[in-house]
């Protein structure tokens, strides 16, 4: 009988879980949940991105904060805020700072573009050295979809599928003014290189001279380029020529990524920041409301009429907040009236684009 009772007690102990106790919370207390999801920006505290994200941080409270794939898939969102020919702004929602930074690094170093890699200089009497001129040409953005081209290895020959050829030939006439050479002078050669390759003379005089590329067909015959010819970004200064100076060259662009060289990076700057969250902890009215609106340099706050000749401050553009915390410097009591926070899983990403497809 005693053995039977002891066996039943062991079974009860094995099936017992601490989470079954009524005093163990199944969600975080409000102040800990606030620390988990927000960053408080005070005058006496530095702005940081410290976060408690390691698995098991809240296990004693019955909350599992480990990264789950299904939770990520259900909560992660990308919202495009602005898209122009020069820049792009979008929001990454439901991720950690490490993943947001991974997106930034991928855009800088992993996305392929086309850039000038080889420069064949036939004549250069300008004051710019050949290697400096070649470097400047390599940094000129090429307006073309890189998905239409293949990567070129060391053993490949230049053909219409992996190379874009441009020609530059400018001459500043003697007795004339100085000439500014811009990227508008770069002419696309859809049939490939026109510079003859130095080889032994061919016994057949009717044969076509060999060049630095081996194009089997013209690139402008492709439907992708028939109505949208390949061109560099316009109005970029390459050099300035004095009277009698001349530049004649060919530039060959190939496909690459920013990890190999910065000239293949599709963005000029890439950065992100946490979404600001501005909360008025109490009503700010009349003269205090006007004072608060005038204090903010980026017009985060606005005034609304609440009737009876009274005015009240509202948060109109929290996204524009730069965390300067000028609103907290209005007086000692303003930290109790205005709360500046940042949302830890909501990132504003902005990228200045160099390549336009």
172-202 per-position pLDDT tens digit: 999 889 999 999 999 999 999 998 887 666 5
- How do beta strands 301-307 and 187-188 pair? unpaired
Look at 2-6, 99-103, 116-120, 330-334 and tell me which has the smallest mean pLDDT.
2-6
Q: How many residues does the chain have?
A: 357
Is there a single domain that holds both residue 139 and residue 251?
yes
Q: Which residue has the tokens 């709360």?
A: 339
Residue 28 has pLDDT above 70, yes or no: no
297-334 per-position pLDDT tens digit: 999 999 888 888 888 999 999 999 998 888 888 777 88
3 state DSSP class of 346 = strand
Q: pLDDT value at position 260?
A: 94
* 160, part of any domain: yes
How far, in Å, are 285, 288, 302, 316 from residue 313 at the CA level? 6, 8, 6, 9
Residue 27 — φ and ψ, nearest 5°?
-145, 160
Q: pLDDT value at position 17?
A: 57
Helices and strands (H and E) in the chain: how many: 7, 15
Q: Which two tokens stand for residue 21?
A: 């106790």
Return mean pLDDT, the chain.
84
* 23, part of any domain: no
| Mean pLDDT along residues 12-16 | 58
CATH classification at residue 140:
2.170.120.12
- How do beta strands 87-93 and 142-143 pair? unpaired
Q: pLDDT value at position 333?
A: 83
Nearest to 310 by CA among 286, 288, 284: 286
The alpha carbons of the chain give a radius of gyration, in whole angstroms, of 32
* 56, part of any domain: no
Look at 50-59, 161-170, 202-211 and tell me which has the smallest mean pLDDT.
50-59
260 vs 21, higher pLDDT: 260
Task: Residue 224: give the domain boundaries.
Answer: 112-198+210-264
| Mean pLDDT along residues 84-110 | 90
Q: pLDDT value at position 284?
A: 85
* 51, part of any domain: no
Q: pLDDT value at position 237?
A: 94
Q: pLDDT value at position 192?
A: 92
* 238, part of any domain: yes
207-222 per-position pLDDT tens digit: 677 888 999 889 988 8
* 52, part of any domain: no
Residue 62 — φ and ψ, nearest 5°?
80, 20
Is there a single domain that holds both residue 341 and residue 232?
no
Q: How confident is the model at residue 357 (pLDDT cuts 50, 70, 90)?
A: very low
> Tell me, what DSSP letter sits at residue 139?
T
Q: How confident is the model at residue 44 (pLDDT cuts 50, 70, 90)?
A: low
Q: pLDDT value at position 310?
A: 87
Total domains in the fold of the chain: 2
Is there a single domain that holds both residue 344 and residue 238?
no
Q: Which residue has the tokens 């109005």?
A: 235
Is there a single domain that holds both residue 193 and residue 251?
yes
Q: pLDDT value at position 12?
A: 61
CATH classification at residue 99:
3.30.1360.10
CA dist 244 and 246 (Å) reads 7
Is there a single domain that holds both residue 91 and residue 118?
no
Is there a single domain that holds both residue 118 and residue 253?
yes
220-277 per-position pLDDT tens digit: 888 888 888 999 999 999 999 999 999 999 999 999 999 999 999 998 888 899 999 9
* 316, part of any domain: yes
Q: pLDDT value at position 209?
A: 78
52-72 per-position pLDDT tens digit: 556 666 776 666 666 778 878
Q: What is the secondary structure of 183-196 as a DSSP string? A: GGG-EE-TT---SB
CA 1 to chain centre: 73
């Amino acid at each position: 009988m005693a053995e039977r009772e002891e066996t039943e007690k062991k079974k009860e102990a094995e099936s017992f879980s601490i989470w079954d106790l009524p005093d163990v919370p199944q969600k975080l207390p409000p102040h800990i949940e606030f620390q988990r999801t927000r960053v408080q920006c005070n005058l006496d505290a530095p702005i940081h991105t410290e976060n408690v994200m390691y698995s098991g941080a809240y296990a004693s409270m019955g909350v599992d904060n480990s990264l789950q794939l299904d939770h990520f898939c259900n909560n992660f969102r990308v919202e495009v805020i602005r898209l122009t020919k020069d820049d792009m702004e979008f929001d990454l929602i439901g991720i950690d700072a490490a993943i947001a930074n991974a997106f930034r690094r991928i855009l800088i170093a992993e996305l392929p573009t086309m850039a000038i890699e080889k420069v064949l200089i036939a004549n250069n009497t300008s004051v710019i050295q050949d290697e400096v001129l070649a470097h400047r040409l390599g940094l000129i953005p090429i307006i073309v979809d890189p998905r239409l081209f293949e990567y070129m290895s060391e053993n490949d020959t230049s053909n219409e599928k992996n190379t874009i050829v441009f020609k530059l030939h400018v001459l500043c006439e003697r007795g004339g003014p100085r000439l500014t050479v811009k990227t508008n002078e770069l002419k696309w050669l859809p049939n490939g290189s026109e510079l003859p390759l130095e080889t032994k003379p061919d016994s057949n005089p009717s044969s076509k001279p060999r060049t630095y590329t081996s194009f089997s067909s013209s690139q402008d015959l492709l439907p992708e380029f028939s109505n949208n010819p390949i061109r560099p970004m316009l109005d970029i200064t390459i050099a300035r020529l004095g009277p009698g100076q001349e530049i004649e060259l060919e530039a060959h662009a190939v496909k690459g990524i920013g990890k190999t060289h910065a000239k293949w990076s599709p963005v000029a700057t890439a950065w992100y920041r946490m979404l600001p969250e501005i909360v008025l902890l109490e009503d700010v009215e009349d003269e205090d409301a006007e004072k608060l609106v005038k204090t903010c340099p980026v017009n985060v706050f606005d005034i609304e009429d609440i009737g009876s000749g009274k005015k009240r401050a509202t948060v109109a553009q929290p996204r524009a907040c730069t965390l300067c915390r000028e609103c907290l410097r209005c007086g000692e009591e303003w930290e109790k009236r205005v709360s500046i926070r940042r949302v830890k899983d909501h990132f504003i990403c902005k990228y200045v684009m160099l390549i336009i497809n």
